[in-house]
Amino acid sequence: MLLHETFQTPSQAWYHEYAPINPQNIPTSKHAYAWRKVELVEDPKYGTIQYIDYRGKLERAAVYGDSVRTVLDAATYLNALRADSVQKDIDRTQQYIAWQKDRVANWRLQPVEPNAPEST
């Protein structure tokens, strides 16, 4: 999913889901967390917020806090989590770029030394 994608309805949100790491959803033992665009729905029986997971099943969404009462509240909450995650990625990337620029700017020719001791 690209960051500039827009949602078609207010009930769509980014969800950090634990799912198979292959794009074909083939059963595998390798799973990882990944951000995925999901549709949120409210369970009228229990008043909980659910989402449609990668298998197409309804699952309870991990949305917490007194301010999360509706699907729109949950979408806002989840999208804010995604925005925080993206901002952290941006910050880490900027730190890495600054570190690399400093390495290149201060690079000096050094003599080559062997990695292993010479055998006798």
Is residue 8 over pLDDT 80?
no
Q: What would the mean pLDDT of 59-73 be, rounded to a whole number?
A: 87
Write out the E strands in the chain.
12-20, 31-42, 49-52, 58-60
Listed in sequence order, the DSSP H helices in the chain are 71-105
21 with 29: CB under 8 angstroms?
no
pLDDT tens, 16-63? Answer: 998 877 766 566 677 888 899 999 999 888 888 999 888 889 999 988
Name the token pair of 9.
């309805």
> Per-residue pLDDT for 3 more than 60?
no
CA geometry: angle 22, 28, 32, nearest 5 deg = 60
pLDDT at 112: 87
Q: Cβ–Cβ contacts within 10 Å for residue 15, how many? A: 26
Radius of gyration of the chain (CA): 23
pLDDT in tens, 90-118: 999 999 999 999 999 999 888 888 887 76
Which amino acid is residue 51, in one-letter code? Answer: Y
Predicted structure pTM score: 0.72
